[in-house]
Structure 1
Amino acid sequence: MNLLKYLYQRSSYLLILACVCAIFGGLASAALVKVIAGGITGSVQGADFALSFFGLCIVVLVARTSSQISILHLTQNAVMDMRISLSKKLMDSPYKKLQELGKPGLLVILTKDIDAFTSALQAVPRILTEGIVIVACFSYLAWLSLPLFGLLTLTLVVCLVAFNKAQRYPFHHLRLVRTKMDNLYQHFRDLVEGSRELQLNKQRGRAFVDQVIAPDAKQFRDIYIRGFSAYTWISNVGDILFYIAIGILLFVVPLWLPQSPAVLTSVTLVLLYLIGPISSMINAVPSLGQASIALRRIQQLDNTLSEQLMVLDRPNPFKHKSSCLIELDAVSHHYPGKTDDSKFLLGPVSLRVEAGEILFIVGGNGSGKTTLAMLLLGLYMPESGCVRMNGASVTEENIEHYRQNFSAVFSDFYLFEHLLGVAPETIMAQSAHYLDKLHMTHKVKVVDGRFSTIDLSAGQKKRLALVGAYLEDRSIYLFDEWAADQDPAFKRVFYTELLPELKARGKTVIVISHDDAYFGCADRIIKLADGNVDAPAVQQHAAVLHAV
Structure 2
Amino acid sequence: MNIVSYLVRESWKLVLFAVVAGVASGLAGASLAKVISDAILGEGRASHAWLFFGLCLAYLAAKSISELSLMHLVQSAILRLRVELSRKLLATPLKKQQAIGKAELMAIMTNDISAFVQAFQALPAALGNGVILLTCFAYMAWLSWPLFLLFAGIITASLFGYLRAERYPLRQMVKLRAKLDNLYVHFTGLIEGSKELQLNADRGRVFVDDVIAPDARDFRRFFLGTMTTYTWISNVGLVLFYAIIGVLLFVIPALLPQRANVLTTFTLILLFLVRPISDLVFCLPVLRQANVSLDKIRQLEDALATPTEAAAGPDPFASASPLQLELRGVCHHYPGLTEDAPFMLGPMDLTVRQGEILFIAGGNGSGKTTLAMILLGFYEPESGAIRLNGVPVTAENLDAYRRYFSAVYADFHLFEQLLGTDREAVEQRATHYIRKLEMAHKVTVDNGKFSTVNLSTGQRKRLALVSAYLEDRQICVFDEWASDQDPAFKRVFYTELLPDLAQRGKTVVVITHDDAYFHCADRVIRLEDGHLRPAAPHAAADTGAVEPRVVAETV
Change (3 A) 1:407 1:218: same
| Pairing 1:540–2:539 present | no
- Matched residue, 1:467: 466
- Tell me the equivalent position of 1:413: 412
Paired residue for 1:185? 184
Corresponding residue for residue 41 of structure 1: 41
How far apart are the structure 1 equivalents of 2:419 and 2:96? 24
Q: Which residue of 2 aligns with 1:53?
A: 52
Equivalent residue runs for 1:165-314 within 5 Å = 165-307=164-306, 309=307, 311-313=309-311
Query: Structure 2: how far apart are the matches of 1:320 and 1:15?
Result: 54
- When normalised by structure 1's length, the TM-score is 0.92
Judge conservation of contact 2:359–2:523 (CA < 8 Å) in 1.
Answer: yes
1:471 deviates by 1.8
Q: Counterpart amino acid of 2:201?
A: K
Taking the aligned partners of 2:249 and 2:432, their CA distance within structure 1 comes to 89
The answer on whether the counterparts of 1:407 and 1:478 sit within 8 Å (CA) in structure 2 is yes
Contact 1:496 1:521 in 2 (8 A): yes
Alignment CA distance shift 1:517-1:543 (3 Å): closer
CA contact (8 A) 2:405 2:476 kept: yes
C-alpha distance in 2, partners of 1:203/1:132? 59
Change in 2 beyond 3 A, CA 1:135/1:480: same
Aligned residue number for residue 118 of structure 1: 117
Amino acid in structure 1 at the alignment position of 2:332: H
| Alpha-carbon distance in 1 for matches of 2:45, 2:336 | 82
1:348 is paired with a residue whose SS is strand
1:203-257: CA deviation from partner (whole Å, max 9, x where unpaired): 1111111111111111111111121112112111211222332333333333333
Letter in 2 for 1:296: D
Could you tell me how far 1:342 is from its partner in structure 2?
8.1
Q: Distance in 2 between matches of 1:510 and 1:179?
A: 43
Displacement of 1:405: 0.4
Amino acid at match of 1:149: F
One-letter code aligned to 2:126: I
Change (3 A) 1:240 1:399: same
Aligned to 1:525: 524
> Residues 507-546 of structure 1: CA distance to partner in whole angstroms, max 9, x if unpaired?
111110101111111111111123222x3xx163499976
Kindly indicate whether the alpha-carbon contact (under 8 Å) linking 1:356 and 1:507 is maintained by their aligned counterparts in 2: yes
Find the counterpart in structure 2 of residue 319 from structure 1: 318
Say whether the 8 Å CA contact 1:71–1:125 is kept in structure 2: yes
Q: Give secondary structure in 2 for the equivalent of 1:313.
A: coil
Does the 8 Å CA contact 1:323/1:506 hold for their aligned counterparts?
A: no
Contact kept in structure 2, 1:93 and 1:310, CA below 8 Å = no
Point out the more displaced range, 120-129 or 513-522: 120-129
User: Match of 2:74?
Assistant: 75
Distance of 1:177 and 1:480 partners within structure 2: 41
Alignment root-mean-square deviation, CA: 2.5
Which residue is 1:390 aligned to? 389
Partner-residue secondary structure (3-state), 1:407: strand
Q: How far apart in 2 are the matches of 1:91 and 1:389? A: 23
Aligned partners of 1:149, 1:311: CA distance in 2, in Å?
A: 57
Partners of 1:282 and 1:547 lie apart in 2 by 75
Which position in structure 2 is the counterpart of 1:515?
514
Letter in 2 for 1:233: W
Gapped regions of structure 1 (runs ≥ 5): none
Partner of 1:446 in structure 2? 445
Judging changes above 3 Å, is the alpha-carbon distance between structure 1 residues 322 and 105 closer, same or farther for their aligned structure 2 residues?
A: farther
Secondary structure of the 2:524 match is strand
Equivalent position SS for 2:385: strand
Question: How big is the shift at 1:106?
Answer: 1.9
Q: Between 182-191 and 407-416, report the one with greater CA deviation.
A: 182-191
Structure 1's 314 and 344: CA in aligned 2 closer, same or farther, altered over 3 A?
farther
1:167 maps to a residue whose letter is E
Shift of the 423–125 alpha-carbon distance from structure 1 to 2, 3 Å rule, reads closer
Cα distance in 1 for partners of 2:421, 2:132 equals 57
Summarize the Cα distance change of 1:336–1:31 in structure 2 as closer, same or farther, 3 Å threshold: farther
Q: Identity of aligned pairs, percent? A: 53
What CA deviation, in whole Å up to 9, does each residue of 1:297-356 have, x standing for no partner?
22332332234x455216541135663211112212233699935844322222222232
Unaligned residue ranges in structure 2 (runs of 5+): 541-548
Rounded Cα–Cα distance in structure 2 between residues aligned with 1:429 and 1:340: 52
State the partner residue of 2:372. Answer: 373
**Cα distance in 2, alignment partners of residues 465 and 321 from structure 1:** 31
The residue number in structure 2 matching 1:436 is: 435
SS in 2 for 1:366: coil
For residues 265 and 22 of structure 2, the distance between their equivalents in structure 1, rounded to whole angstroms, comes to: 24
Shift of 1:124: 2.4
Tell whether the 8 Å contact from 1:312 to 1:398 is kept in structure 2 after alignment: no
One-letter code of the match for 2:2? N
